[in-house]
Amino acid sequence: MSICYSEEFKSFYLNTPNTSYVFHINEGGFLVHDYYGSTLPVCDLREYAARLARGPKSADGTTVPCGTPMEYSCNGTGDFRVSALQIRNAAGNASTDIRYVSHKIYAGKPAIPGQPSTYGTEEEVSTLEILTQDAVTGAKVTLFYSAFENYDAITRRAVVENGSDYDMDLERVYSLCCEIPFGNWQICHLYGEWGRERTFERSNLIHGITSVESTQGASSHQHNPFVAIVDEYTTEDVGDAYGFNLVYSGNFSVQTEQIVDGDLRLIMGINPNDFGWKLEPGESFATPEAVSVYSAEGLGGMSRTFHKLYRNNLCRGPWKTAKRPLLINNWEGTYFDFDEEKIFNIAKQAGELGVEMLVLDDGWFGARNSDKAGLGDWFVNEEKLKGGLGKLSERIHGLGMKFGLWFEPEMVNPDSDLYRAHPDWCLQVDGRQLCTSRNQYVLDMTRRDVRDYLFNCMDNILKNARIEYIKWDFNRYLSEAGSLLLAPERQKEIFHRYVLGLYALLDRLVTAYPDILLEGCASGGGRFDPAMLYYSPQYWTSDDTDAIERLDIQYGTSMCYPTSTVSSHVSACPNHQTGRTTPLQTRADVALAGSFGYELDVTKMSDEDKEAVKGQIAEYHKYYDLIHFGELFRVIPPNREECAWVYVSEDKSEALLTFVCVRNRPRVRRRTVHFRGLDPNKLYADQDGTVRAGSVWMKAGVNKAQVMKDYTTFKVHLTEVK
């Protein structure tokens, strides 16, 4: 078992293949953090933590000196840095002080009722539960730690229970608190906006508080619930990298506080802004799960751990391992302007090229001829689709293809039958005018009647047509976030209750239809987070389908999320978002670094391009396992001139390098790109028959003597020579 307790040292040791996480119970019953990093043997690290404390403390250890590296920091009892827990008690104050009561260690990992989380068998993961209590207020806090046997990953969460006879108000309850001592630390995070999601940024941490957060009701385009803390000398391949990711789709917060000697505290969890939760006696509150990964092999090692963990122990259902169908989506090909024959002709010609599924996007329902009407009216528009979805689906299946469908269940247009019948079903605040975004309001997902209506509508559609895929969209954030069903003192619960309602509906859908491939979407990649991957094993990465823009988007996404979850399509040129024209092969090579597909009107393609598509589809099948299940090595980060990456199979028998020339420069006669991740002692042959040792491919690299044109690519495929 990867977790043990030393009675001698009063210390807990959580061990993964290459890391150790250690903390102890001090004389006052406080949980004090000792160490997180490369593997250590069981030893006494208590004095190491004690040296970090400064200031007065009581002789019996019943108060915490400033600077003590707390395992789960509390507000108002002597620890003056950012705190993970703040409970306002019946006396009206928010002083919180939890002490150790008991613990248990066991094989396996419990699920979080009503929330997504990583999972594992008793052979794959061990769990530590520590019960703590505030003796004054009666608050009980159970801290959960789970350590994976095969990955350098540890998950954290907390459950707060009201053990008193009076109401309590949770004002902040984070999932994770982590202490990282002594370093010149930098923070890496993923920022952006619509069409520019998850842009990688690395910057020095200030002495003081640094915050990355969302307040928009979703994990958002602007910030992703992922950060990495790295040493200033950390690279892709070497150096300390601590990665943190929250399995949550709502308002989140990551705060770091660095004090003068370089000690760093990081907390991650639900954003306390506009959050509150009333706990009546006996009630409890469970935080979402936070995942931490430590790597001594730089950012690349950290990312590959996240990739394996999420691919194997977060994504669920048959599609986490089954080969997914290569699809074409009609959105950029037709937008709202389609009928049954136009869709069928796209499917027919795409099928002749080797495409395996047609996905019908927005516009098939209600009075939906633009984004101004019909959203929420989930019945088929038979003026467009004569005979309904069932007839169209059967015609497409008759081509030997599968059929998929777009939904946006969480939203409603003011101009819709649903809104006219149930205006009370929207999120709203009494006396405030509702604002629209994309001409739509947000439905109140905290309400069971709303969720029942949505499930019944989708269930009716799915029962009456053969549908193998759903694209679940979410095109605006939450404003006027109130519910007509919640009491005034519970209105601050609305953001979290909304997320729980979303999870409840998603879980109901995937339970009823376990074989359907569900792809998430949020106006592109606005809710690309691990919680959504628990329900949808692939996610529409961005509405920006431009291949050159996608270099940055997919690079940032790869910091935490596996290639198998990255939905990436070849679209038409000039690109609809940027106006840029790039070669068809470049668009395909970039899209191959994801769950591959097409987003265009194939009936308008030239015969030459159609022949090229056949070749691209053949490459998709040839490299599918390597790309979806292999290890990713980021060779050259996207910049003004170039970008490159490598996939290596788990057994290191095969590798694929892709290089993109973004901008050619005068007098560039040679471009050298180095493989990564090969076995240095194995022999590998490329597609031209050149045989070299893995060490040579990695050290000497691949030299391209020709001058490449802007926006062109090359690939090098290596196979082991036995």
The closest of 452, 564, 425, 565 to 512, measured between CA atoms, is 452
Q: E-strand spans in 167-263?
A: 168-180, 185-191, 199-204, 208-213, 223-231, 241-247, 252-258
Using a 10 angstrom Cβ sphere, with 0-12 exposed, 13-18 middle and 19 or more buried, the burial of residue 6 is: middle
One-letter amino acid identity for 509? L
Neighbouring residues of 320: CB distance < 8 A, sequence distance ≥ 6: 311, 312, 537, 564
Q: List strand residue ranges (DSSP E) for 320-445, in order.
A: 327-329, 357-360, 402-407, 411-412, 441-442
Rounded Cα distance between 656 and 258, Å, is 41
Q: Which of 444, 473, 546, 601 is the catalytic position?
A: 473
**Structural element, H or E, at residue 568:** strand 566-571
Our answer to whether residue 543 is catalytic in this structure is: yes
- DSSP secondary structure code for residue 682 in this structure: S
Which helix (H) or strand (E) segment is 692 a member of? strand 691-693
Would you state the structure tokens that stand for residue 328, as one six-digit string? 């074409």
Report the residue count for the chain: 722
d(CA 42, CA 499): 41
**Strand 538-540 relative to strand 517-520, pairing:** parallel
Q: Which 3-state string (H, E, C) describes 282-309?
A: CCEEECCEEEEEEECEHHHHHHHHHHHH
Contact 322, 316 (CB under 8 A): no
Distance (Å, rounded) from C-alpha 642 to C-alpha 661?
A: 5
- Alpha-carbon gap, residue 80 to 676, rounded angstroms: 45
Whole-number Å distance between alpha carbons of 326 and 219: 28
Asked if 337 is an active-site residue, the reply is no
Contact between 711 and 582 under an 8 Å Cβ cutoff? The reply is yes
Burial status of residue 567 (CB atoms within 10 A of its CB: 0-12, 13-18, 19 or more): buried
Coil, strand or helix at 223: strand
Rounded to the nearest 10 degrees, how much is the dihedral formed by the CA atoms of 615, 616, 620, 626? 90
Query: Which one of 134, 362, 543, 546 is the catalytic residue?
Result: 543
The CA distance from 4 to 661, in Å, is: 51
Question: Using an 8 Å Cβ cutoff, are 591 and 538 in contact?
Answer: no
Structure-token pair, residue 672: 């050298």
Report phi then psi at 563, rounded to 5.
-55, -35
Beta-bridge mates of residue 35: 22
CB atoms within 10 A of CB 431: 5
What value does the CA radius of gyration of the chain take, rounded to a whole number of Å? 27
Cis? peptide before 574, omega within 30° of 0 = yes
Cα(369)–Cα(373) distance, integer angstroms: 7
* Kind of pairing between the strands at 691-693 and 702-704: unpaired
User: What is 117-158 written as a DSSP string?
Assistant: -----TTTEEEEEEEEE-TTT-EEEEEEEEEESSSSEEEEEE
Q: How many helices (H) and strands (E) does the chain have?
A: 13, 38
Strand-pairing partners, residue 404, are 359, 469
Beta bridge partners of 115: 112
Neighbours of 514 (CB within 10 A): 11
d(CA 204, CA 186): 4
What are the residues facing 70 on neighbouring strands? 32
The catalytic residues are 473, 543
